[in-house]
Structure 1
Amino acid sequence: MAAIQKGIAMSLPAILSHLRLPIIGAPMFIVSGPELVIAQCKAGIVGSFPALNAREKEGEPPLLDAWLTRISEELDRHNQANPDSPAAPFAVNQIVHRSNARLERDIEICVRHKVPLWITSLGARPEVNEAAHSVGGVVLHDIINNSFARKAIDKGADGLIAVAAGAGGHAGTQSPFALIQEIREWFDGPLALSGSIATGRAVLAAQVAGADLAYIGSAFIATAEANAVPDYKQMIVDCGAEDIVYSSKFTGVHGNYLKPSIRNAGMDPDTLEGSDASAMSFAEGQSKAKAWSAIWGAGQGIGAVNAVQPAGDYIDRLAREYEAARRALG
Structure 2
Amino acid sequence: MPAAQNTSARPNRITALFGTDVPVVLGPFGGVSSVELTAAVSGGGGLGSYGLYGYSAEAILTTAAQLKKATAKPFALNLWIPTGDETPSIPKEEFDHYVETLKPYFDEVGLPLPEMPHRYLPDYDEQVAAVLEARPAVVSFVFGVPAPELVEEAHRRGIVLVGTATTVAEAVALEAGGVDAVVASGMESGGHRVSFLKPAEESLIGTFALVPQVADAVSIPVIAAGGIADRRGYAAARALGADAVQVGSAFLATRESAAVPAYRAVLHSPAASETVLTRVLSGRLARGIPNRVIGELSTTAGTAPFPVQNWLTGRFRPQAAAQGNTELMSLWAGQGTPLIRHDSAADVLAELLSGGEILA
With normalisation by structure 1, the TM-score equals 0.80
Structure 1: state its 5+ residue gaps: 56-60, 77-86
The 1:272–1:300 alpha-carbon spacing in structure 2 relative to 1, beyond 3 Å, is: farther
Q: Deviations over 1:55-79 (max 9, x none)?
A: 6xxxxx8122122122223323xxx
Tell me which amino acid in the other structure corresponds to 2:306: M
Mark the CA change 1:204 to 1:94 in structure 2 (over 3 Å): closer, same or farther: same
Secondary structure of 2:277's partner? strand
| Structure-1 residue corresponding to 2:16 | 14
Q: Which one is further off, 140-149 or 290-299? A: 290-299
Q: What is aligned with 1:44? A: 45
Q: Please report how far the alpha carbon of residue 201 of structure 1 lies from its aligned counterpart in structure 2 after TM superposition.
A: 2.1
Q: In the alignment, does 2:279 pair up with 1:248? A: yes
**2:224 aligned to which of 193, 197, 204:** 193
Match of 2:358 in 1: 325
- CA-CA distance at 1:109 after TM superposition: 2.2
- Does 2:154 align with 1:132? yes
Task: Please report the RMSD computed on the Cα atoms of aligned residues, expressed in angstroms.
Answer: 3.1
Q: 1:90 is matched with which residue?
A: 75
Cα 1:154–1:323 shift into 2, 3 Å: closer
What is the deviation of 1:268?
A: 5.6
- Structure 2 distance, partners of 1:177, 1:168, is 16
- The residue aligned with 1:311 is 345
| Amino acid across the alignment from 2:44 | A
By how many angstroms is 1:107 displaced?
A: 1.9
Cα separation, 2, equivalents of 1:220 and 1:311: 6
Q: Which residue of 1 aligns with 2:330?
A: 295
In the alignment, is the contact (CA less than 8 A) between 1:169 and 1:298 conserved in 2?
yes
Aligned-pair distance for 1:6?
Answer: 6.8
CA apart distance, 1:250 = 2.4
Assess, with a 3 A threshold, how the Cα gap between structure 1 residues 8 and 179 changes in structure 2: closer, same or farther: farther
- What is aligned with 1:148? 170
For structure 2, list consecutive stretches of 5 or more residues without a partner in the other structure. Answer: 87-120, 194-202, 319-328
Contact 2:283 2:309 in 1 (8 A): no
- Counterpart-to-counterpart distance in 2, 1:53 and 1:5: 39
| Deviates further, 141-150 or 286-295 | 286-295
**CA apart distance, 1:165:** 1.9
Q: Does 1:215 align with 2:246?
A: yes
Cα distance, 1:288 vs structure 2: 5.9
Partner SS state of residue 62, structure 1:
helix
Higher RCO, 1 vs 2 (CA within 8 Å, ≥6 residues apart): 2
Do residues 281 (structure 1) and 316 (structure 2) align? no
Q: Which amino acid aligns with 1:142?
A: T
Aligned partners of 1:283, 1:228: CA distance in 2, in Å?
21
d(CA) in 1 for partners of 2:171 and 2:347?
Answer: 34
1:197, 1:240 → 2: CA distance?
A: 18
C-alpha change, 1:121 and 1:164, in structure 2 (3 Å) is same
Aligned counterpart, 1:267 = 295
Structure 1 counterpart of 2:140, which letter?
A: I
SS at match of 2:223: strand
The normalised TM-score by structure 2 is 0.74
**1:74 and 1:186 mapped to 2: Cα distance?**
38
Which of 104, 120, 125 matches 1:104? 125
Aligned in 2, Cα 1:318/1:10: closer, same or farther, shift over 3 Å?
closer
Which residue matches 2:113?
Answer: none
Counterpart CA distance in 1 for 2:142 and 2:308 is 12
Provide the secondary structure at the position in 2 that maps to 1:14. Answer: helix
How far residue 298 of structure 1 moved from its aligned partner, in angstroms, is 0.4
Q: Does 1:75 align with 2:77?
A: no
Aligned to 1:23: 24
1:180/1:266 Cα in 2 relative to 1: closer, same or farther (>3 Å)? closer
Matched, 1:117 2:118: no
SS in 2 for 1:300: coil
For the residue of structure 2 that corresponds to 1:267, the secondary structure is helix
Aligned mate of 1:159, from 158, 181, 198 = 181
Q: Deviations over 1:201-254 (max 9, x none)?
A: 211211111111101001111111111111100000003664111122222332
Task: Give the total of aligned pairs.
Answer: 302
Partner of 1:79: none
- How far apart are the structure 2 equivalents of 1:9 and 1:288? 44
1:229 aligns with 2:260: yes
Q: Contact conserved, 1:225 with 1:311, CA < 8 A, in 2?
A: yes
CA contact under 8 A between 1:38 and 1:71: conserved in structure 2?
yes
For residues 165 and 105 of structure 1, the distance between their equivalents in structure 2, rounded to whole angstroms, comes to 31
- Once the 2 structures are TM-superposed, how far is the Cα of residue 281 of structure 1 from its aligned partner? 1.8
- After superposition, the Cα gap between the structure-2 partners of 1:268 and 1:283, relative to the gap in structure 1 and judged at 3 Å, is closer
Distance in 1, matches of 2:49 and 2:308, equals 19
Q: Report which of the two has the higher share of helix.
A: 2
Distance 1:253 1:63, change over 3 A: closer
How far is the alpha carbon of 1:267 from its aligned partner? Answer: 2.2
